[in-house]
Amino acid sequence: MPAHSETPRQRESRPAARSGTYASPRFWLLPLLVLLLLGGAGTALYIGGLGSPGDHLKHFPVAVVNEDRGATPADGGSPQNLGQNITDQMQQGFSESDEIDLRVLSPDEAEEQLRKGQIHAAVLIPESFSADALGLVSGALSDTEVTRPSITVYTNPQAGPLASSLATSAVDPALERANTGLGEQLTAAAQAAQGEARAEQQRELGELGLPAQVQQQVAPTVDGTSADLLRAPISVTTTAYETPPEGTALGMGAFFYSVLLMVVGVSGSVAIHFLVDSRLGVAPVEMGPRFALGPRLQPARWKTYLIKWGIVVLGALPTAGLMMWVASAVGMPIPHGGWFFLTTWLSIVTVSAVTTALITLFGSIGMVLSLIYVVFMGLPAASGVVPLEALPGFFTFIARAEPLYHMTTANRAVLYFDAQADAGLQSGIIGMLILILIAVALALVFAVLYDRMFGRRRAELVPASVEA
């Protein structure tokens, strides 16, 4: 048989061709480059994004609530509101940079924003703060029972455990400075009161004719314990506003569930891509020892995209129900089941729309791009581990274009914040719908262009000599 009439199977079976393929640098370098790309990009994005959240704080939302009614010193001086002084000091200190967005709120406003996850901590100064603080001065010179002034820091672990830690790390130094400043003020006041009390008592005792040594012994003094209390008068208590219920992974459950939905969406879309292409005769799929390849139908690319994504759209309905049932069975609390079913289904559909669109636009390399864009870029930007206000600027910029960010926002609002629209449910759903619209539009437009420029999709056998 002439050489030009060799069948592809005969050409593949020639030892020279096989050895040439294995010897080709492309055969070995391309897989290596894929691994290097995934390893390097994944490390840079994931570790680089989450490694130092405290160094990237920007407009981190924290509230201060001053309920202090003020008080008048025992010596009859002018009324003082020490809580307002601390509030002013905190505002002045945090205004020097844009790291902390300190919001001076009323108790009702602070409670509302904590319930919606809009602030990560709230500093509460109680009504009796000034009275308790000034009472330490008179108590230090007598046997009067005193109450230590207190401040409570309410954290919001349901908005993210790490966010609560970052909030307390930011607030604690400010409260420590306030404690030191108030301690100096009270110590000076106690020393002045001690001097006045001694002078008055010595005058009275002198009129009785008592010796100066006796006068000195009975004069009021601030003892060591009282002095220590005056130097650090404020008692700071940190507590969770609402403790995450059992089964929520300490408030991380919504993020973990969203990551699971992302994995299902990406891996399911890739598997369906291969299965559908095999049925359409575009590429074989290996099943154990067999290769399966359907008849060469040469479908339009836009139809292929809609078929693949449509399978996920329909298949995600029972999948969402199954995932919710299993999650509930293993102990995850699921309030607002209808909303949670919607966000679960929409999350899978969104990830699939994006993943399948990238495969349609870029072919097999689209699977690699999906890992980089949806997974490696999405995980840090999701705000599930590190809040958006503590991420490098790059991730803050891309977050709204990441499916996982909107998935986490919507799922967290349903699970932890009573499915309130302005707690993230509305913005999360709208964000996912916009990403679906963009992905579907790009996939269909480029699919039509590819068909017109390069023809319909079909399986092609590349000779081994060309590969080599």
- What residues does each domain of the chain span? 15-50+247-467, 57-240
Q: For the chain, which ranges sit under pLDDT 70?
A: 1-20, 75-76, 140-144, 193-226, 457-468
pLDDT in tens, 409-456: 999 999 999 999 999 999 999 999 999 999 999 999 999 999 888 877
- Backbone φ and ψ for 62, nearest 5 degrees, come out as -135, 145
What was the pLDDT predicted at 16?
47
DSSP state of 347: H
**C-alpha closest to that of 457 among 310, 354, 305, 313:** 305
Whole-angstrom distance, CA of residue 220 vs CA of residue 187: 15
For helices 15-23 and 25-42, the axis angle rounded to 10 degrees is 30
What was the pLDDT predicted at 52?
83
Burial class of residue 159 in the structure, from the number of CB atoms within 10 Å of its CB (0-12 exposed, 13-18 middle, 19+ buried): buried
What was the pLDDT predicted at 218?
45
pLDDT in tens, 49-91: 888 888 889 999 999 999 999 998 876 678 889 999 999 999 9
What was the pLDDT predicted at 468?
43
What was the pLDDT predicted at 230?
83
57-240 is classed CATH 1.10.3720.10? no
Question: Which residues have CB under 8 Å from 421's CB, separation 6+?
Answer: none
Identity of residue 359: I
What was the pLDDT predicted at 342?
98
> Which residue matches tokens 């650090």?
232
